[in-house]
Amino acid sequence: MNTQKTIDLLVEMKLTGMAAAYQAMTEEPEHKLPPLHLAIAKLAEAEQLARQQKKSKTFLKLSKVRYHVKMEEIICSPERNLSEETLALLCEGNYITKGQNVLITGATGTGKSFLASALVDQACLQGFKSICHPMLTFIETIKKSKQDGKYLLILEQIKKCPVLVLDDWGLHPMDHAVKAALLQILEDRYGRGTVIITSQLPVKSWHAYLDEPTIADAIMDRLTAKAHRIDLKGESLRNKT
């Protein structure tokens, strides 16, 4: 079997990463080719990497992330109240495996959603499914699901997703039914799934925003007990573009 037929066969078998690596090997001078056992290992690694990249792209597309941004695009500085150490810690992704939350607050334009989007991108690269909801969309989704009988299905879908982003927390009122649904979601995810929240309101104002002391106590306990807090400062980044 000649080289092109081998490549075509690998592609037909959906081993596209291996096919690309094999083609690259055939273009190398013979004296630079690795021994057989190393060549097989390189082909296997290339296929594994290709599948991981494909899965990451699929996860990112399904996440409906607000911005397509990489962690290395995030600006760290004392003026922003965001350190490289904090970013590096989150970049490792251990907070997801531990089911810890990330609460990002700050004035409008300070890059809250931008940072949350970068965290989602990194999570998808690490193989974690993610889903992003602007709060208005989340509220409408819960209300609609109760009307069309898909409420339990929506809760189960969110429960299974390792990373849930609630963007623009505090801008829209929630009725009791939505708050109850949110509490159930947080209970299901506690210690098992990550919630990333962006908000213009400081965390200390969230209890008042929820406006029902008993349910607010329960929600805040589950949100803040295992949480990384980032309070972004500085001028609006939109003024610099």
- One domain for residues 188 and 151: yes
- One domain for residues 84 and 32: no
Worst-scoring range by mean pLDDT, 11-20, 84-93, 95-104, 199-208?
A: 11-20
Q: Which residues lie closer than 8 Å to 236 by C-beta, 6 or more apart?
A: 107, 108, 109, 110
pLDDT at residue 30 greater than cutoff 80: no
* Domain around 14: 3-62
pLDDT at residue 26 greater than cutoff 90: no
Averaged pLDDT for residues 127-140 = 95
- One domain for residues 101 and 37: no
pLDDT at residue 55 greater than cutoff 60: yes
Mean pLDDT, rounded, of the chain:
90
- One domain for residues 44 and 116: no
Which pLDDT score, from 0 to 100, does residue 239 have? 64
Which pLDDT score, from 0 to 100, does residue 37 have? 82
How far CA 26 is from CA of 14, 33, 182, in Å, comes to: 19, 8, 56
In this prediction, residue 4 has a pLDDT band, given cuts at 50, 70 and 90, of confident
Residue after which a domain boundary falls, among 39, 62, 85: 62
Share of the chain above pLDDT 90, in %: 66
- One domain for residues 146 and 216: yes
* Spatial separation of the C-alpha atoms in residues 181 and 185, rounded to whole Å: 6
pLDDT digits (tens, 9 = 90+) for 149-165: 999 999 999 999 999 99
Which pLDDT score, from 0 to 100, does residue 240 have? 60
Return the SS3 of 35. Answer: coil
Q: What are phi and psi of 47, to 5 degrees?
A: -70, -40
pLDDT at residue 52 greater than cutoff 80: no
- One domain for residues 153 and 56: no
CATH number reported for the structural domain that contains residue 84 in this entry: 3.40.50.300
- One domain for residues 68 and 157: yes
Which pLDDT score, from 0 to 100, does residue 53 have? 77
Which pLDDT score, from 0 to 100, does residue 38 have? 87
6 vs 106: which has the higher pLDDT: 106
Pair of tokens at residue 75? 């600006």
pLDDT at residue 1 greater than cutoff 60: no
Which pLDDT score, from 0 to 100, does residue 217 have? 97
197 vs 13: which has the higher pLDDT: 197
Residue after which a domain boundary falls, among 62, 77, 100: 62
pLDDT digits (tens, 9 = 90+) for 70-110: 999 999 999 999 999 999 999 999 999 999 999 999 999 99
- One domain for residues 191 and 230: yes
- One domain for residues 185 and 226: yes
- Residue type for position 78: P
Which pLDDT score, from 0 to 100, does residue 238 have? 66
- One domain for residues 172 and 224: yes
pLDDT at residue 237 greater than cutoff 80: no
The pTM of the full predicted model, rounded to 2 decimals, is 0.81
- One domain for residues 196 and 112: yes
Averaged pLDDT for residues 129-153 = 94
Give helix 36-63 / helix 16-26 axis angle, nearest 10°. 140
142 vs 40: which has the higher pLDDT: 142
Which pLDDT score, from 0 to 100, does residue 32 have? 76
- One domain for residues 89 and 58: no
Pair of tokens at residue 81? 């109240």
Count: domains in the chain: 2
Q: Which residues lie closer than 8 Å to 192 by C-beta, 6 or more apart?
A: 99
